[in-house]
Amino acid sequence: MSRMIINPYAFRAKIASISVFGSATSVAASITAPASILAGDLLVLLDRAENLASPPPTLVTPTGFTSIGNLTDGTFARQNLSYKIADGSESSSSITGMTGDEYVYKAMYVFRGNIAISTASPLSVGGEATAANPVSQTVTAGSGATPLIVLGAYSVYSDSGLSTVDPRTFSTTKDGEISPNTSLYLAYKIYNGTPANTSIDMDDEGVENFLQSCYLQCA
């Protein structure tokens, strides 16, 4: 008699929805993750640091995180957008990223599915670091499979010091954004159904303008 072999993963429930669970910001080399993070949560970290003289800070992608995009102006500053599927050990933990001589900023979101998220795929990834006006970036989430999360990341430095990223274009209505100060913002939009393309943009706000975008398709 033949024996049927059943793949246990074939009957895994599909994620139907995602919501934001928590957030955190920091102006140091480390950031404290929100409490009560569970295995299968999705962590997104925006990290920027600057040195007073060349070269830019060394890239640090925290343990277990995957870099979506690493930008540098080639002289003083670096910005890194990364993500991680949590294993549950991250709750209230100190996560170390980049450091520098000044303007060290971090912003983190935690997203949770109706069931544990097993994969997150960065798609339609855009990024630019420029002393001029960044080119508008189009996140083509309209062709993605839901649930998914559109991300927009903005930061700036000017010769006068702390500057402000305003306006921060997010052409569909963002669900929220966080910021340790007016120089760095991380914004998001969740689509649990009927996704749409989104334009992410900012003005020339200073000496160094950083703009990043993508969507994370979750399963």
Whether 2 is covered by a domain: the verdict is: no
This prediction has a pTM of: 0.93
Return the structure tokens found at 71: 């930008």
Whether 1 is covered by a domain: the verdict is: no
Question: 53-82 burial, b for 16+ CB within 10 Å, e for fewer?
Answer: eeebbeebbbeebebbbbbbbeebbbbbbb
In the chain, the number of structural domains is 1
Looking at this protein, which amino acid is placed at residue 197? Answer: N
Whether 7 is covered by a domain: the verdict is: no
Matching residue, tokens 């999360």:
149
The whole-number pLDDT of residue 104 equals: 96
Determine contact, residues 202/186, Cβ cutoff 8 Å: no
Residue 145's CB: how many other CB atoms inside 10 A?
13
Whether 5 is covered by a domain: the verdict is: no
Q: 89 is in which domain, residue-wise?
A: 14-218
Whether 211 is covered by a domain: the verdict is: yes
Sequential pLDDT tens for the chain (219 residues): 455 555 444 456 899 999 999 999 999 999 999 999 999 999 999 999 999 999 999 999 999 999 999 999 999 999 999 999 999 999 999 999 999 999 999 999 999 999 999 999 999 999 999 999 999 999 999 999 999 999 999 999 876 667 899 999 999 999 999 999 999 999 999 999 999 999 999 999 988 999 999 999 999
